Amino acid sequence: MAVPENVKADRLRPGYHFLPPANWMNDPNGLIQWKGQYHLFYQHNPTQATWGRIHWGHALSQDLLHWQHLDIAMEPTPGGPDGDGVWSGCAVNAGGKPVIFYTGVNPEVQCMATSSDDLKTLEKYPGNPVIPHPPAEMKLTGFRDPCVWREGKTWYMIIGSGFEGQGGALLLYSSPDKVHWVYRHPVLTAGSVAAGDLSLGNMWECPQMFPLGDQHLVHFSACDQHGPYYVVYLTGVYRQETFYPQRILKLDYGDEFFYAPQAFLDDRGRRIMLGWCREERSQEAQLQAGWAGVMSLPRQIEPRPDGLPGFSPIEELQGLREQPFHLANERLTPTSTNLLKSIRSDSFELQAVIEPAVAEEFGFKICASPHGEEFTVLSYFTASRRLVVDTTHASLAAQAPGSVHEIPSLPLDGGALHLRLFVDRSIVEVYLNGWACLTARMYPTLNTSLGVELFAKDGDIQVKSLDFWQMKPAG
Ligand code: DQQ
């Protein structure tokens, strides 16, 4: 499937992130490495760049970066249990056979699909739905996005949900054969989470639970009837079919711009996550561009000594680097000339270790035009330990007003900020100190908005090291 010329011509379309050839994409689905190849299914409207009548798109890769677009894997069956949409779900390896679980609408029910040709094509189970309704007598805010795994001879499924008037919930089912499912109980409810300053809405979408070191990690995408909030993760203990949460944090501080993620275990034992990064320009602009939605870079999740998950971009990304630029042990004052003035790019990776020394604020301007009309700022505030990404000046277009995102508490690590920044035209992903991530969107209009600047305010900074690479397209 080729990318249409008008879509290809959009200079804001990312070059090394995954997107479908055209039109709408949201959640990643059914992530699995099968016979060595990575399969990415995704929520897709193949007819236009808006959400609606959702299908499962499908792509194949050897390295999670270069993708081959395949035929649509599943479309709604008129009059069937997924007649109004083939919504999100997962893939499992059931004794050497791939099996897919997903939500069919309307109403929301759980369905199954299999494949007899190593996932080239999917066949919906003729007895669908395998779970035809929610547990009796429950007033739920939703019933969707199955996550399935096996323990011994038992299959388990958690379904994203919420109790009306009470908050989100994850419902646990079990099955001896993947076809007959019995409701057990909620594995987690809003009442058992000490959420602090976080708002968890009344519906928890796209949940997952998996082991992380000697603990478990649960994540879900919190929302309410008005829309998405953000993804949170909880570390804790899973015992006797119940999850006992300990810590809760945002999974990405870009909030709704990294949503409905899914992780899978690859053949090398890596836990890798992709998330859907929605657009932040008007619907009119999206329709005009002919595409909407981009997948995040694949993130590896590993347990850290402090019990929190660590996030890092997969190492395969290093293969896209070219034209390196390096500097080390440079002192930068508020009046120094820009150390990065020779760089012009909207497709790059930047890695830096910076000590604030005495600066009260320091950071980067990216996608900056020479005369200051357009720029995105990433700032670290030393006293308050806040990291702020501001895209409100990223674009002169009224259709892309931008927003401000913040990591409220980001202590330095060994006295320094360790930062990895990936810019790919209209998306920026930042990894900080190995555990905090922030994803944002930006839509510069000027083809001169390619500058990168390192700045310090109210004092000097010490740049321990800084590496920059142009990134080759992949996608
Ligand atoms: N997207 C899907 C749902 C899921 C939501 C529908 C999250 O299954 O809850 O496209 O973005």
| Three-state secondary structure call for residue 383 | coil
Rounded to the nearest whole angstrom, what is the distance from the C-alpha of residue 439 to the centroid of ligand 1? 19
Question: Which two three-digit tokens encode residue 312?
Answer: 């890092």
144 lines ligand 1 (CB under 6 A): yes
Neighbours of 190 (CB within 10 A): 18
pLDDT of residue 227: 94
Tell me the DSSP string of 191-251: GG---TT----SEEEEEEEEEETTEEEEEEEEEETTEEEEEEEEEEEEETTEEEEEEEEES
pLDDT of residue 411: 96
105 lines ligand 1 (CB under 6 A): no
86 lines ligand 1 (CB under 6 A): no
Pocket test for ligand 1, best of 205, 223, 255, 276 (most atoms within 8 A of CB): 205
The CA distance from 219 to 207, in Å, is 6
229 lines ligand 1 (CB under 6 A): no
462 lines ligand 1 (CB under 6 A): no
Question: Along the 475 residues of the chain, how does pLDDT read in single tens digits?
Answer: 789 999 999 999 999 999 999 999 999 999 999 999 999 999 999 999 999 999 999 999 999 999 999 999 999 999 999 999 999 999 999 999 999 999 999 999 999 999 999 999 999 999 999 999 999 999 999 999 999 999 999 999 999 999 999 999 999 999 999 999 999 999 999 999 999 999 999 999 999 999 999 999 999 999 999 999 999 999 999 999 999 999 999 999 999 999 999 999 999 999 999 999 999 999 999 999 999 999 999 999 999 998 899 999 999 999 999 999 999 999 999 999 999 999 999 999 999 999 998 889 999 999 999 999 999 999 999 999 999 999 999 999 999 999 999 999 999 999 999 999 999 999 999 999 999 999 999 999 999 999 999 999 999 999 999 999 999 999 7
pTM of this prediction? 0.97
Pocket test for ligand 1, best of 82, 90, 144 (most atoms within 8 A of CB): 144
Neighbours of 467 (CB within 10 A): 16
For the CA of 43, the closest atom of ligand 1 is: 10
Rounded to the nearest whole angstrom, what is the distance from the C-alpha of residue 462 to the centroid of ligand 1? 45
Torsion of CA 304, 307, 309, 315, to 10 degrees: 10
The CA distance from 473 to 439, in Å, is 19
Q: Where are the beta strands (DSSP E) in 252-360?
A: 259-265, 271-277, 291-292, 294-295, 299-303, 309-313, 321-332, 347-355
Rounded to the nearest whole angstrom, what is the distance from the C-alpha of residue 219 to the centroid of ligand 1? 15
425 lines ligand 1 (CB under 6 A): no
Minimal-distance CA residue to ligand 1 atom 10: 87
The CA distance from 75 to 85, in Å, is 7
Torsion of CA 263, 269, 270, 272, to 10 degrees: -20
Q: What residues are paired with 25 via a beta bridge?
A: 44
Q: Which residues are catalytic?
A: 27
Q: Which residues of 337-371 are buried (b: 16+ CB within 10 A; e: fewer)?
A: eebbeebebbbbbbbbbbbbbebebbbbbbbbbee
For the CA of 228, the closest atom of ligand 1 is: 11
Pocket test for ligand 1, best of 206, 223, 231, 262 (most atoms within 8 A of CB): 206
Rounded to the nearest whole angstrom, what is the distance from the C-alpha of residue 348 to the centroid of ligand 1? 31
The CA distance from 295 to 276, in Å, is 5
Taking 3-state DSSP, the helix, strand and coil percentages for the chain, each rounded to the nearest 5, stand at 5, 55, 40
The CA distance from 114 to 96, in Å, is 12
54 lines ligand 1 (CB under 6 A): yes
For the CA of 205, the closest atom of ligand 1 is: 9
88 lines ligand 1 (CB under 6 A): yes
Rounded to the nearest whole angstrom, what is the distance from the C-alpha of residue 307 to the centroid of ligand 1? 30
Q: What is the DSSP letter of 131?
A: B
For the CA of 87, the closest atom of ligand 1 is: 8
202 lines ligand 1 (CB under 6 A): no
pLDDT of residue 1: 78
Q: For 97-134, write each residue's pLDDT tens digit.
A: 999 999 999 999 999 999 999 999 999 999 999 999 99
For the CA of 51, the closest atom of ligand 1 is: 10
Question: Which two three-digit tokens encode residue 18?
Answer: 């995954």
87 lines ligand 1 (CB under 6 A): yes
Rounded to the nearest whole angstrom, what is the distance from the C-alpha of residue 205 to the centroid of ligand 1? 7
